[in-house]
Amino acid sequence: MAGDERRDGHPAEPHEDDASTRVADEITEVEILRSELSAASERLAALEAEHQACLDKMLRARADLENTRRRHSQEIERAREAGLDAALLPVLAVFDDLGRALQMAEVGDPSSILPGVRSVRESLERSLEAIGVLRVGDVGDAFDPDHHEALAVVPAGAGREPGAIAEVFEAGFVRGERLVRPARVVVVAQD
Each domain of the chain, given as residue ranges in start order, spans: 14-131, 132-191
Tell me if the domain spanning 14-131 has CATH number 3.90.20: yes
Considering the segment(s) 132-191 as one domain, its CATH architecture is Roll (2.30)
Q: Kind of pairing, strands 148-154 and 183-188?
A: parallel
Q: How confident is the model at residue 36 (pLDDT cuts 50, 70, 90)?
A: very high
8 Å CB contact between 77 and 83: no
pLDDT band at 9 (very low <50, low <70, confident <90, very high): low
- Cα gap 128→89, rounded to integer Å: 10
* Residue 165: other Cβ atoms inside 10 A: 21
**Could you read off the pLDDT of 12-21 as tens digits, one per residue?**
555 556 777 7
179 beta partners = 174
Q: Give the SS3 label for residue 41.
A: helix
Residue with more model confidence, 119 or 152: 152
